[in-house]
């Protein structure tokens, strides 16, 4: 390893070279190997040693089912450069991918707009350089203006992409919806292509991590949108023109699927005979 290069991951696994010199290998198959990830490269050690520099990655983590051998594999990470694609499978894919995100992004410099949108309102904020730090549970940015921004990896509601001119260059911009102090915000991110390629995969992984596989009806979608726009849960029945019991059923289902969470319980009360007597006494004393 070169000076300053550190090992982040070392496990037995397997790989498949799906593309070589720009051409798909239709008869490609899996080969056992040792998977070594450092701060600078992925090294696949099998019958020979293959090395992929982190900075050459153009896309990562999306499926590339070049043939049936790839398609039947439940989980793998695709590593794409200009003219090669390697598929890598390890015993713990999440651990390998987090290590890959760290290798690619830790201490890298991105451009950040935060908050670009707050409560649905676009904010007039400048792009600011930020140093990136990836952990198992969060993406953190230490911004040049002193801000500290944290995006929890299991709190990424949606990710959109856009093409814009930023800092004099045409760039891919990721618009990340998440929460901050219990309010919905968007943080916009961009940077050099090898950083944004990996950041995009990390963000999409966050979206998929807790995306509920629901078949919501129209009223249920109205409830979610009403809550997102700030309507009080107690005002939802009137807002969607449904009785309280129906809305409570919707809440229960959305809680079950981790779409909403209970912040505090409302206690339903009714007077007992003793209570009615006490109320009568109080009225008589007036």
pLDDT tens, residue order, the chain (286 aa): 667 789 999 999 999 999 999 999 999 999 999 999 999 999 999 999 999 999 898 888 788 999 999 998 888 999 999 899 999 999 989 899 999 999 999 988 999 999 999 988 999 999 999 999 999 889 999 999 999 999 998 888 889 999 999 989 999 999 999 989 888 899 999 998 888 888 988 998 888 765 544 566 778 878 887 887 678 888 889 888 889 998 888 888 788 766 777 766 655 545 556 555 555 555 565 5
> Quick check: 44 and 86 in contact, CB under 8 A?
yes
> Quick check: 115 and 183 in contact, CB under 8 A?
no
Helix 218-228 with 244-256: angle, nearest 10 deg = 80
DSSP one-letter code for 82: S
Taking the alpha carbons at both ends of the chain, their separation in whole angstroms is: 88
Q: Are strands 121-122 and 138-143 parallel, antiparallel or unpaired?
A: unpaired
DSSP one-letter code for 22: T
Task: Say which CATH class 7-91 falls into.
Answer: mainly beta
Q: What is the pLDDT of residue 172?
A: 93
Domain ranges of the chain: 7-91, 106-209, 213-273
Please tell me the distance from the alpha carbon of residue 109 to that of residue 190, in angstroms, as a whole number. Answer: 10
CATH architecture for residues 106-209:
Roll (2.30)
* Buried-exposed string 159-170: b where 16+ CB fall within 10 A, e elsewhere: beeeeeebeeee
Q: What is the pLDDT of residue 274?
A: 58
At CB < 8 A and 24+ separation, what contacts does 258-262 make?
258/210, 258/212, 259/212, 259/214, 259/224, 260/224, 260/227
Q: What is the pLDDT of residue 213?
A: 46
Nearest-Å Rg of the Cα atoms of the chain is 25
> Quick check: 41 and 20 in contact, CB under 8 A?
no
Please tell me the distance from the alpha carbon of residue 53 to that of residue 275, in angstroms, as a whole number. Answer: 75
Q: What is the pLDDT of residue 281?
A: 58
Q: What is the pLDDT of residue 75?
A: 87
Tokens of 208: 């998929």
Q: What is the pLDDT of residue 266?
A: 55
Please tell me the distance from the alpha carbon of residue 178 to that of residue 151, in angstroms, as a whole number. Answer: 7
């Amino acid at each position: 390893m070169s000076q300053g290069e550190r090992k982040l991951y070392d496990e037995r696994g397997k790989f498949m070279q799906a593309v070589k010199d720009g051409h798909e290998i239709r008869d490609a198959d899996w080969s056992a190997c040792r998977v070594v990830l450092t701060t600078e490269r992925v090294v696949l050690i099998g019958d020979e040693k293959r090395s992929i520099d982190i900075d050459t990655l153009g896309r990562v983590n999306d499926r590339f089912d070049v043939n049936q051998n790839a398609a039947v594999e439940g989980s793998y990470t695709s590593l794409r450069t200009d003219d090669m694609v390697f598929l890598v499978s390890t015993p713990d894919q999440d651990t390998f991918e987090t290590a890959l995100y760290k290798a690619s992004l830790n201490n890298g410099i991105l451009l950040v707009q935060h908050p670009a949108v707050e409560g649905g309102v676009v904010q007039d904020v400048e792009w600011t350089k930020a140093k990136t730090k990836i952990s198992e549970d969060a993406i953190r940015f230490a911004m040049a203006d002193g801000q500290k921004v944290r995006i929890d990896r299991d709190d990424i509601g949606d990710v959109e992409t856009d093409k814009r001119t930023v800092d004099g260059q045409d760039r891919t911009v990721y618009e990340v919806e998440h929460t901050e102090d219990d309010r919905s915000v968007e943080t916009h991110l961009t940077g050099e292509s090898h950083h944004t390629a990996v950041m995009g995969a990390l963000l999409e992984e966050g979206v998929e991590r807790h995306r509920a596989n629901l078949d919501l009806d129209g009223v249920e979608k109205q409830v979610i949108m009403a809550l997102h726009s700030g309507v009080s849960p107690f005002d939802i029945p009137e807002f969607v023109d449904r009785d309280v019991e129906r809305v409570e059923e919707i809440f229960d289902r959305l809680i079950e699927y981790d779409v909403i969470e209970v912040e505090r319980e409302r206690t339903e009360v009714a007077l007992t005979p003793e209570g009615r007597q006490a109320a009568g006494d109080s009225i008589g004393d007036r």
